[in-house]
Amino acid sequence: MPRPNAGTKGVPRIAREAQILDIASEHFGTHGFAATSLAAIADAAGISKPLIYNYFGSKDGLYQACLERSGTLVAAEIERIADGDAVGVERGLQTLGGMFSLLEDRRHLWRLFFDTTAPSSGPIAESAAMHADRIGRVAAEGVGELMGLAGNDDPLDASAMTSVWLGIVDSLVSWWVDHPDQSAEQMTQRCRRLATALFSAP
């Protein structure tokens, strides 16, 4: 059903673009790139499809804009925590907690990064890779710090552990997205219990 007044005259362009991106992100993140139509997004936003073309150029352009905004949000949250005082495992747990809080009411954003129906080359793929690199650099820094605390300065060990950590983050956030009954706080506490079980095991 169209959202009332989403596309009425008098709405500043920046506000209207934000409305479109909110709705498009939800559609893309819920149904996937291939199964989402601009007509459905326009209808939900209460605007005409040509307006989407006017603002974003194409379906690819709209998806890329959604990805850019989501990637910036996620990367900025991870960098914010990295700039804090937490180190080692605590930094990792705080990173997960920050992700859950950020995505609490918009979990569909996470799926934008892993949509296998989205173009695998061109601007969309380049945007996804750029944000993955940005997040990966912060992850590598945190893992390097953790390995240093353990007295390990082997770069290949650090590289392997960074891959493991990124896989853990993806697995935990994806599990949470698939369990909408679980709140961000519940998931944060679950991660702490899992970490305790892991590191206290004989």
Per-residue pLDDT of the chain (202 residues; tens, 9 = 90+): 444 444 456 788 899 999 999 999 999 999 999 999 999 999 999 999 999 999 999 999 999 999 999 999 999 999 999 998 988 899 999 999 999 999 999 999 999 998 999 999 999 999 999 999 999 999 999 999 999 999 999 999 999 999 999 999 999 999 999 999 999 999 999 999 999 998 876 6
Instruction: Take residue 146 and report the two structure tokens written for it.
Output: 């953790």
SS (H, E, C) 98-113: HHHHHHCCCCHHHHHC
Contacts for 70-74 with beta carbons within 8 Å, 24 or more apart? Answer: 70/25, 70/109, 70/112, 70/113, 71/113, 71/127, 71/128, 71/130, 71/131, 71/134, 72/131, 73/102, 73/109, 74/99, 74/102, 74/109, 74/131, 74/135
Q: Which residues contact 197 (CB under 8 A, 6 or more apart)?
A: none
Contact status, residue 143 vs residue 161, Cβ threshold 8 Å: yes
Instruction: Take residue 40 and report the two structure tokens written for it.
Output: 């459905």
